[in-house]
Structure 1
Amino acid sequence: MKITDLLSKKSIAINPKVSSKEDAINTLVDLMYSSGKLNDKEEYKKAVLAREELSTTGIGDGVAIPHAKTKAVNDAGLAAMIVNDGVDYDSLDGNPAKIFFMIAAPDGENNLHLEVLARLSTMLMDEKFRSALENSKSPDEFLNLIDEFENAKVNKVKEESKDGYRVLAVTACPTGIAHTYMAAESLEEKGKEMGISIKVETDGSGGAKNILTSKEIEEAECIIVAADKKVDMARFDGKKVIQTKVSNGIHKAEELINRAVSGDAPIYHHNGAKASEEDNSEENESIGRQIYKHLMNGVSHMLPFVIGGGILIALAFLFDDYSIDPNNFGKNTPFAAFLKTVGDTSFNFMLPILAGYIAMSIADRPALAVGFVGGMLANQGGSGFIGALLAGFIAGYLMLCLKKVLSKLPNSLEGLKPVLLYPFIGILLIGAVIIFAINPPVAALNNGITNTLNNMGESSKILLGAVLGGMMAFDMGGPLNKAAYVFGTASLANGQFEFMAAVMIGGMVPPLAIALCSTFFKKKFTEKERQSALTNYIMGLSFITEGAIPFAAADPLRVIPSCVIGSATAGALSMFFECSLRAPHGGIFVLPVITNPFGYFIALVVGSVVGMIVLALLKKSKY
């Protein structure tokens, strides 16, 4: 397959009227759509914009390569455009983009087209080729230039070094389509110019290619890892390693190679910590950015458990018979009990998974078990998802300290560390921290809140409804949430059914507010977030507050206040409309047995809309 097999005349534009990055993307999407490669134009555009959120595809030297891999693409394709006056595309070098190639890659198809796209990426590193393209006067000339250059310059076998390689490199970007191969080409070409033998492994969408061998790694002076995603680093233990962004592989190849052969690179130790002498990353990320990345690693692994378990629990209520036993709603019939049991089991994994993968992101695989145990202990001790968050970070940094301490042991004990010392000491320490330092103050806080609620009693029902609703949204399964829920269920025994109604509506609002905001304020969310948020309609209506946890964990300073305000509004209105509920669960499925169901529905809608509006005001646009 050749590049011209993916690019047609109808998908090429020479000097169209384009004045901004938005115009450029819109024009290229239209060209791609006209070529018949897309089944959903808007979805493809959303995927392209989502890729731009990760980092600009304006790679510099007047070139931009917006791209996306999505199910909205029928067949792999290219669209191209020349804009001689240039467009401000937020390019890495700050210069206008004049040459545009948009890539459409199908999701789940074979990866033959990826080799072609990689070939195009490397061709664009050639200055003469770029200049010729920029001066094209017609689509025919444009296509001919590509065909000639591809045949003459690219379709050749790379020569292997017989004497090994002084420098090795790995390049990888999040989508693995363009930047991965451009960085590889830049490093290889610069190595040839400098007379330094170099081999580059590319970790693209089609899998790792040109893989580095153990012998090559052993003999190399230094390894350059130019990547914006995780790569296999264990094989580089004990070697000099330079870690940097993939864009630096494109634009700072000479600087990286010079540093690699000068000996000015730290020794990499694969224990989850930074290199022993200095930070071996070119980019010294802020503490806030590091914490966010660790947090998102936990959230992304937790999300399937929340979605899968939440939907199963919702179905359990749908297929159950409330009239059999209101207090056992969700498990009254065998099929409902089956769904509820499986869903609850999935939910039970949720917080340990969150903590475990946060810890693993910080201190690598030895911290995984320690984080799991810490998350489970926090969950069992009533700390909820806030406790699990703390457990994940504590476990991760605890393991970094432990590894540093154990690094002083003799080399003969190295094999005991991962199978005995790390798990034994790590789990022991995290257990002590969570049980004795985290859970007690949280439990005391829980008891204090419950006592406060009991003292409020009948004196101010509307205010109490607002407090109960807000508490349900604050930590979504944590101590405040549980204190409110326990207060509501305890009130049932005393015949005070209105408190349970305020509690349940407060728990329904957070997922609904997030789902509504993702629907009506799409620019505030990435495409992946919008897809995940759709399930929150089901979870919110089913009184599964935990559907909001991934969003709250990822952006707590904006999501939690919005949900609290919306839930407090709903709880207060529930009390104002004198709604009452005799069942401790059920969501929308028990609406017929709620006193004043119409007022309750109004309270739910108003609270959810208020939460949506506040969230839309607080969140920043993603694009």
Structure 2
Amino acid sequence: MRLSELFIKDAMTLDLQSTTKEETLSVLANRFAQVGGVSDVEGYVENLKKREAQSTTGVGDEIAIPHAQHVSIQKPAIVFGRSSQGINWESFDGQPAKLVFMIAAPEGAGGEHLKALASLSKVLMNMDAKTALLNAQSPEEVISVIEQFEEKPEEAPEMVEEASKTDAYVLAVTACPTGIAHTFMAAEKLEQAGKKAGIKIKVETNGQGGIGNRLTAKDIEEATAIIVAADKNVEMARFNGKPVIVTKVADGIHKADELVERAMKADAPIYKAEDIRETMGQDVVNESLGRKAYKHLMNGISHMLPFVVAGGIFIAISFFWGINAFDPKDASYNVAAQFIFTLGKLSFAMMLPVLAGFIGHSIADRPGLVVGFMGGILANPGVLSDSNGLVEASHIQPSGFLGALVAGFLAGGIIIFLRKAFAWLPKSLEGLKPIFLFPIFGTLIMGLLMILVLNAPMAAITNGLTTFIDSIPTELKMVVGFVVGGMMAIDMGGPINKAAYATGTALVTTAAAGAGSDVMAAVMVGGMVPPMAIFFSALIKKDLWEESQRDSALVNCVMGMAFITEGAIPFAASNPAKVIPALALSSGVAGALSMLLGASSRVPHGGFFALMTNGIINPFGFFAAWIIGSLLGAILLIVFVGKKKA
């Protein structure tokens, strides 16, 4: 679809009298309705306002491109409006908008018309086109200007501008929340800046119609530097080890020359991916609900983990003086043990608030952090001495790990609800919401829901799960150990791995002080086996792995000791069909042996170091399960992978 074909001549307004953004949106939407373009004007305007709330569509240079979808729109269109005095659109450069292009699209629309919409951004980069639109005397003349400057299919430029002055090769990625306007304007500006500088440049666009002009592995390998101008998540792990400039999409539009100049000189920090296993080609905008929930959960767990590790290790160390040496009433009392045990308990006390707080933060930003923290505290009010009276007076039953988990997601939902509930407040009171209204009302709602509704059923589920696991006979516990141990090696840090780890953590943190959890021990030993199996396999059969992998295979010994399962990922990725089954089977066997030999873990992390600091009950059984599972894994790897080399 051609860009000029999207303009609705009969809906144009060349002399806008509106003075505010909101009024202008309403005027243009009503004009669109008069020609039959949209039937639910109020609904469409509301969607336009929601888009503006994400970030302004005032792209600068006296131009605004408001855009939204709605179910009552039958086909895509552009409604043009012009204001001689200009309208305050909170644009990036502070200039009032004189040219307003309202883009309307059917709900869920994608495909060819989005490509045409993207070309509008490119037209508006041309100053001659802008001048002609400001001076156009009729709707027909406006369309004529668009036809004159829009890109013809046969004139489409090469996607990569060839170098003529230097050997620099610059890559860029542009993305905005909706992927219609800013994404392509930034891309056009960066391409123009690259051409002006005489370098080869390639720009990937993360638009609503999907990823355009995708960067290849070869592009990234040859690149001098990469510019990421984005207001949403984009694939970053692929840039591991390259100079990367990360900035706002607005800078891609207004600071393109500066960004390209920096990239030419590789004037940027080297990007180090935290997770080099990030899935390539992930469409962040269209993530599934499950994927979003997983990311929110991982945000909470990743922030919680250091508190859990510190608390568990300190408590385990305190047991050196005796299992009850921290208690002044016990004959084995030791002041050092009490001090270290207290540090561990205080660290543990932060676990549930941090878990719930950062899940809420991931969903609803800072307001979600406050409400989530309070939810985590209410999941176990006894962790704070000031709340002891409240617990005794109200007979609140702690809901523990599961309660905090639910509280984190609830915190995000509460803030989303409050944002809608207070949307009617004037803009002048916007600053009052995050520092007063959201914390007060959010904490009140969280408190009522946790104390009156959620704590009791969550506590019942936790107690039921603990009782059920304790009542399982040894032979069936071996099955449980095999399952959770195997889960740790299937995706090594992915959702399946984290599900097993979260289960073990929940059980160890609800156990009595010093009691530990046999499921946590099976989880930990299952996660320690894959890297150690890689290490043993490289020792036993030196030519099993490629020469480039052999050094890292030996380093996996340390990773296995530290319970860092991810050390095995590069090897699993090189031959997943053969490596993953071998590792999953051996991890499962290790988990089953851990259960059979009666090992329990008092701490949720630490690996061999937890073993050395009294964090494991029956350390010899745990160690035996680990070594046997690792040796079995090495043998299976040699059998499965070695066949290929035979």
Which whole-Å CA distance do the structure 1 matches of 2:255 and 2:147 have between them?
A: 29
Q: How does 1:390-409 map to 2 (within 5 A)?
A: 390=357
| Higher mean displacement: 142-151 or 199-208 | 142-151
Distance change >3 Å, CA 478–CA 161, structure 1 → 2: closer
| 1:355, distance to aligned residue in structure 2 (A) | 3.5
Map Cα deviations across residues 369-414 of structure 1 (whole Å, 9 max, x no partner): 99xxxxxxx9xx999974532576999xxxxxxxxxxxxxxxxxxx
* Bigger radius of gyration among the two: 2
What residue in structure 1 maps to residue 383 of structure 2? 442
| 1:151, distance to aligned residue in structure 2 (A) | 5.4
Map Cα deviations across residues 276-330 of structure 1 (whole Å, 9 max, x no partner): xxxxxxxxxxxxxxxxxxxxx9xx9998799xxxxxxxxxxxxxxxxxxxxxxxx
Kindly provide the amino acid, as one letter, of the partner of residue 123 in structure 1. V
Out of 540, 563, 582, which is 2:445 matched to? 563
| 1:26, distance to aligned residue in structure 2 (A) | 1.5
Unmatched 5+ stretches in structure 1: 274-296, 307-349, 371-377, 396-434, 455-467, 482-509, 527-550, 572-583, 586-623
Q: Is 1:246 matched with 2:249? A: yes
Q: Secondary structure at the match of 1:119?
A: helix
Contact 2:110/2:208 (<8 A) preserved: no
Q: Is 1:76 matched with 2:79? A: no
Q: Is 1:168 matched with 2:171? A: yes
What residue in structure 2 maps to residue 389 of structure 1? 356
Out of 227, 232, 243, which is 1:224 matched to? 227
Distance change >3 Å, CA 520–CA 110, structure 1 → 2: closer
| Higher mean displacement: 36-45 or 134-143 | 36-45
What residue in structure 2 maps to residue 451 of structure 1? 392
Distance change >3 Å, CA 32–CA 244, structure 1 → 2: same
Kindly provide the amino acid, as one letter, of the partner of residue 82 in structure 1. R
Q: How does 1:82-97 map to 2 (within 5 A)?
A: 82-97=82-97
Contact 1:355/1:393 (<8 A) preserved: no
Q: Identity of aligned pairs, percent?
A: 36
| 1:145, distance to aligned residue in structure 2 (A) | 1.0
Q: How does 1:74-473 map to 2 (within 5 A)?
A: 74-150=74-150, 155-158=155-158, 160=160, 166-271=169-274, 354-358=296-300, 386=353, 388-390=355-357, 442=383, 448-453=389-394
What residue in structure 2 maps to residue 344 of structure 1? none
Q: Secondary structure at the match of 2:13?
A: strand
Kindly provide the amino acid, as one letter, of the partner of residue 15 in structure 2. N
Unmatched 5+ stretches in structure 2: 277-283, 310-344, 363-375, 428-432, 458-646
What residue in structure 2 maps to residue 488 of structure 1? none
Kindly provide the amino acid, as one letter, of the partner of residue 8 in structure 2. S
Contact 2:63/2:100 (<8 A) preserved: yes
| 1:105, distance to aligned residue in structure 2 (A) | 2.0
Map Cα deviations across residues 130-170 of structure 1 (whole Å, 9 max, x no partner): 00001011111111111122256994242645678611100
Which whole-Å CA distance do the structure 1 matches of 2:262 and 2:239 have between them?
A: 17
Kindly provide the amino acid, as one letter, of the partner of residue 78 in structure 2. L
Kindly provide the amino acid, as one letter, of the partner of residue 424 in structure 2. K
Contact 2:13/2:80 (<8 A) preserved: yes
What residue in structure 1 maps to residue 550 of structure 2? none
| 1:6, distance to aligned residue in structure 2 (A) | 1.4
Which whole-Å CA distance do the structure 2 matches of 1:252 and 1:305 have between them?
A: 34
Q: Secondary structure at the match of 2:150?
A: helix
Q: Secondary structure at the match of 1:523?
A: coil
Contact 1:384/1:478 (<8 A) preserved: no
Distance change >3 Å, CA 564–CA 84, structure 1 → 2: same
Which whole-Å CA distance do the structure 2 matches of 1:512 and 1:58 have between them?
A: 30
Kindly provide the amino acid, as one letter, of the partner of residue 44 in structure 1. Y
| 1:37, distance to aligned residue in structure 2 (A) | 2.7
What residue in structure 2 maps to residue 345 of structure 1? none
Which whole-Å CA distance do the structure 1 matches of 2:403 and 2:434 have between them?
A: 12
What residue in structure 2 maps to residue 523 of structure 1? 424
**How many aligned positions are there?**
383
| Higher mean displacement: 66-75 or 113-122 | 66-75
Contact 1:57/1:91 (<8 A) preserved: yes
Contact 1:11/1:78 (<8 A) preserved: no
Q: What's the TM-score once normalised by structure 2's chain length?
A: 0.50
Which whole-Å CA distance do the structure 2 matches of 1:179 and 1:70 have between them?
A: 20
What residue in structure 1 maps to residue 46 of structure 2? 46
Which whole-Å CA distance do the structure 2 matches of 1:393 and 1:19 have between them?
A: 38
Distance change >3 Å, CA 521–CA 220, structure 1 → 2: closer
What residue in structure 1 maps to residue 584 of structure 2? none
| Higher mean displacement: 160-169 or 191-200 | 160-169
Q: What's the TM-score once normalised by structure 1's chain length?
A: 0.52
Kindly provide the amino acid, as one letter, of the partner of residue 245 in structure 1. K
Kindly provide the amino acid, as one letter, of the partner of residue 102 in structure 1. M
Which whole-Å CA distance do the structure 1 matches of 2:258 and 2:129 have between them?
A: 24
Contact 1:132/1:145 (<8 A) preserved: yes
Which whole-Å CA distance do the structure 2 matches of 1:128 and 1:81 have between them?
A: 18
Contact 1:58/1:97 (<8 A) preserved: yes
Q: Secondary structure at the match of 2:264?
A: helix
What residue in structure 2 maps to residue 17 of structure 1? 17
| 1:23, distance to aligned residue in structure 2 (A) | 2.1
Which whole-Å CA distance do the structure 2 matches of 1:512 and 1:198 have between them?
A: 42
Map Cα deviations across residues 176-201 of structure 1 (whole Å, 9 max, x no partner): 00000000000001111121221101
| 1:4, distance to aligned residue in structure 2 (A) | 2.2
Contact 2:355/2:404 (<8 A) preserved: no
Map Cα deviations across residues 315-356 of structure 1 (whole Å, 9 max, x no partner): xxxxxxxxxxxxxxxxxxxxxxxxxxxxxxxxxxx8x87432
Map Cα deviations across residues 459-513 of structure 1 (whole Å, 9 max, x no partner): xxxxxxxxx9xx99xx99569x9xxxxxxxxxxxxxxxxxxxxxxxxxxxx9999
What residue in structure 1 maps to residue 315 of structure 2? none
Contact 2:69/2:108 (<8 A) preserved: no
What residue in structure 2 maps to residue 539 of structure 1? none
Map Cα deviations across residues 212-259 of structure 1 (whole Å, 9 max, x no partner): 111111111110000011111111111100000001000000010111
Contact 2:205/2:211 (<8 A) preserved: yes
The two structures, once aligned, show a CA RMSD in angstroms of: 5.1
Kindly provide the amino acid, as one letter, of the partner of residue 253 in structure 1. A
Distance change >3 Å, CA 442–CA 269, structure 1 → 2: same
Which whole-Å CA distance do the structure 1 matches of 2:149 and 2:291 have between them?
A: 50
Which whole-Å CA distance do the structure 1 matches of 2:441 and 2:160 have between them?
A: 54
Kindly provide the amino acid, as one letter, of the partner of residue 563 in structure 1. I
Map Cα deviations across residues 536-557 of structure 1 (whole Å, 9 max, x no partner): xxxxxxxxxxxxxxx9999851
Distance change >3 Å, CA 150–CA 514, structure 1 → 2: closer
